[in-house]
């Protein structure tokens, strides 16, 4: 956890912005019997992180005996310091409501929630879960999802190839991404376990983005972060074109324009603005004309 926070700070200095979150894990990170001590460590790390750091926490599921202890220990002390809290094994909108009520009681009524969708039933309810106002993002829990099928999905369904080809896994990913986009939430793609294969990581991240509509992705090892960023970045040509189109639109007072023989209006302006936002958030170099659009107020 400390190494991840150190890497986040180093890359923030390199890119001039924080380009990934660090999620401190209580669910799988805590040893059995040591949950309270681990929650205390997570709280201290969150509170000691640099002001510009983006730190989140994954607590235990809402039906786990340690859930409320996690919330009291971590959210109760460090809630104002957290970017969000990840709730694993969310099955229903009621699970989200339970978590939100616990955060409210701990004094963090504005703290965003992110939910892990990890079972066939949760996928079925993904649209209802995404609709909850406290939900910021849905993530796909690939390995638990495959295991929940009792052997009906082969082990290859968890691999870098199989997770993009097995019909049940593909369907789950599309449902989650669609639910998020329907409700203005962020779909976050699952992990790739082949963390030493950078090319496989980059290919998986690019497919998740270009073919499945995911705009974020989880890493399980520091070596995965740069390939993910590279894959999620728009190309230089896409960024340059977006800046040109928006610059021309601004000069036209956001009326429809013709650009290289094609009509553009406010619908395509929104699309190209999203290209620039994605470029900015992943550390891409923006054209000079676009940098002022992302300058801090008064900067």
User: pLDDT digits over 159-173, tens only?
Assistant: 999 999 999 999 999
Residue 299: predicted pLDDT: 44
Does pLDDT of 297 surpass 80?
Answer: no
Same domain, 170 and 56: yes
Does pLDDT of 255 surpass 50?
Answer: yes
| pLDDT top residue among 139 and 284 | 139
Q: How much is the average pLDDT of 254-259?
A: 94
Of 232, 252, 275, the position where a domain reaches its end is 232
Specify which of 15-19, 65-69, 293-297 reaches the highest per-range mean pLDDT: 65-69
Residue 298: predicted pLDDT: 47
Percent of the chain with pLDDT over 90: 71
Same domain, 170 and 79: yes
Q: How much is the average pLDDT of 218-231?
A: 88
Identify the band that residue 296 occupies on the pLDDT scale cut at 50, 70 and 90: low
Least confident range of 95-104, 164-173, 275-284: 275-284
Identify the band that residue 282 occupies on the pLDDT scale cut at 50, 70 and 90: confident
Residue 289: predicted pLDDT: 81
Is 223 inside any structural domain?
yes
Same domain, 142 and 204: yes
Is 299 inside any structural domain?
no
Is 297 inside any structural domain?
no
Same domain, 241 and 222: no
Does pLDDT of 262 surpass 90?
Answer: yes
Same domain, 255 and 270: yes
Q: How much is the average pLDDT of 241-260?
A: 93
By the 10 Å C-beta count (0-12 exposed, 13-18 middle, 19+ buried), 255 is classed as exposed
Same domain, 50 and 166: yes
Contacts of residue 119, defined as CB under 8 A and 6 or more positions apart, other chains included, come to 89, 91, 144, 145, 148
Does pLDDT of 244 surpass 50?
Answer: yes
- Residue 87, SS3? strand
User: Does 58 show up as a binding residue in the annotation?
Assistant: yes
Question: Which structural domain, as residue segments, surrounds residue 276?
Answer: 236-292
Question: What angle separates helix 198-210 from helix 225-232, to the nearest 10 degrees?
Answer: 40
Of 232, 256, 278, the position where a domain reaches its end is 232
Same domain, 60 and 116: yes
Same domain, 115 and 194: yes
Residue 194: predicted pLDDT: 82
261: left (phi over 0), alpha (psi -120 to 50) or beta: left
User: Does 223 show up as a binding residue in the annotation?
Assistant: no
Q: How far apart are CA 139 and CA 114, in angstroms?
A: 7
Specify which of 183-187, 275-279, 287-291 reaches the highest per-range mean pLDDT: 183-187
Look up tokens 């189109």; give the residue. Answer: 245
User: Does 128 show up as a binding residue in the annotation?
Assistant: no
Domain count, the chain: 2
- Per-residue pLDDT of 195-224, as tens digits, reads 778 888 889 999 999 999 999 999 988 888
Same domain, 31 and 82: yes
């Amino acid at each position: 956890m400390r190494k991840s926070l150190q890497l986040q700070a180093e890359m923030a200095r390199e890119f001039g912005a924080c380009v990934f979150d660090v999620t401190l894990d209580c669910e799988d990170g805590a040893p059995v019997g040591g949950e309270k001590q681990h929650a205390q460590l997570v709280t201290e790390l969150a509170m000691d992180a640099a002001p510009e750091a983006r730190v989140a926490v994954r607590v235990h599921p809402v039906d786990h005996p340690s859930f409320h202890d996690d919330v009291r220990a971590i959210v109760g002390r460090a809630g104002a310091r957290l970017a969000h809290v990840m709730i694993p094994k969310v099955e229903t909108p009621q699970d989200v409501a339970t978590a939100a009520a616990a955060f409210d009681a701990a004094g963090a009524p504005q703290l965003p929630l992110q939910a892990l969708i990890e079972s066939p039933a949760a996928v079925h309810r993904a649209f209802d879960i995404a609709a909850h106002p406290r939900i910021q993002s849905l993530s796909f829990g690939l390995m638990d999802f495959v295991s929940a099928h009792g052997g009906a999905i082969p082990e290859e369904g968890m691999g870098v190839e199989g997770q993009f080809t097995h019909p049940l896994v593909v369907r789950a990913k599309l449902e989650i991404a669609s639910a998020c986009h329907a409700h203005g939430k962020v779909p976050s793609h699952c992990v790739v376990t082949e963390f030493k294969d950078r090319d496989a990581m980059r290919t998986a991240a690019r497919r998740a983005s270009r073919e499945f509509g995911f705009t974020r992705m989880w890493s399980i090892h520091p070596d995965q972060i740069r390939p993910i960023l590279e894959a999620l970045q728009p190309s230089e040509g896409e960024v340059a074109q977006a800046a040109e189109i928006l610059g021309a639109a601004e000069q036209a007072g956001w009326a429809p324009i013709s650009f290289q023989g094609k009509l553009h209006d406010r619908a395509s302006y929104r699309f190209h603005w999203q290209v620039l936002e994605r470029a900015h958030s992943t550390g891409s170099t923006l054209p000079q004309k676009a940098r002022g659009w992302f300058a801090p107020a008064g900067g």
